[in-house]
Structure 1
């Protein structure tokens, strides 16, 4: 699956949950609370394939799934830049010390597995918008 295909699919899933919560009259704090990992596993099991195993994408207390992906992630399915024989397809806009580049043959992808920035409630509160795609708008590079 390409980054763009995942992005579109996830945006639709997020939008469906948001429509439901907004129709119930949920405010910002209630929405952020709803996206707590423990609640999402029970309330929205189809939102993430890891939920079936009650497995977290990041081993952390208070994991919040509101963003799922990070607004600092940058991608281009055609490639961001060539580095010799390799192509960089994704990167971190803030060069997080907890992230790294993963090299897979001739492809380089951002590995965010060590970074928890978008899963902290305080961060989500700062960047919150009821439209996930608006928060994530800068992620697509040149597409």
Structure 2
């Protein structure tokens, strides 16, 4: 599955959940996306939910900005670095991010970064139209 295919499928899941939450306030929507609630009420949102497993090692995890707005990807690649294709990167160059480098590719590794999963960050960039957030986000 390409980055774009995953992103489009994820956007559709996110939109379906938001459609159910129209009666909630913005703060209540953000609270709804807390990991513990999502595992219980939206088990198909993430494949890790079936194992009650988090994508990031943090006590408080909010899944509203799964598909980080700072993650940039290109299925065709952005550039070639040392004969490897750069497929993804972090637009804020988070010091907690890393790179996964294979023989032919470079991918952003976001496992150590929790920036988009903190509710304070989500509240700062929140929009009920999740795709608007994905286009342009101020750095934290």
How well do the aligned residues superpose, as a CA RMSD in angstroms?
Answer: 1.1
Match of 1:110 among 108, 119, 134: 108
Give unmatched runs, 5+ long, in structure 2.
Answer: none
2:15 and 2:92 map into 1 onto residues whose CA distance is 26
Match of 2:26 among 10, 14, 28: 28
CA drift of 1:137 comes to 1.9
1:34-77 C-alpha deviation (Å, 9 max, x unpaired): 00000000000010000001000011121000011211111111
Partner of 2:99, secondary structure, is strand
Partner of 2:123, secondary structure, is helix
Give unmatched runs, 5+ long, in structure 1.
Answer: none
The answer to whether structure 1 residue 54 and structure 2 residue 52 are counterparts is yes
**What is the aligned partner in structure 2 of residue 37 from structure 1?**
35
Q: Calculate the TM-score normalised by the size of structure 1.
A: 0.93
**What is the aligned partner in structure 2 of residue 2 from structure 1?**
2
Match of 1:76 among 74, 77, 84: 74
Moved more, 96-105 or 33-42: 96-105
Q: Calculate the TM-score normalised by the size of structure 2.
A: 0.95
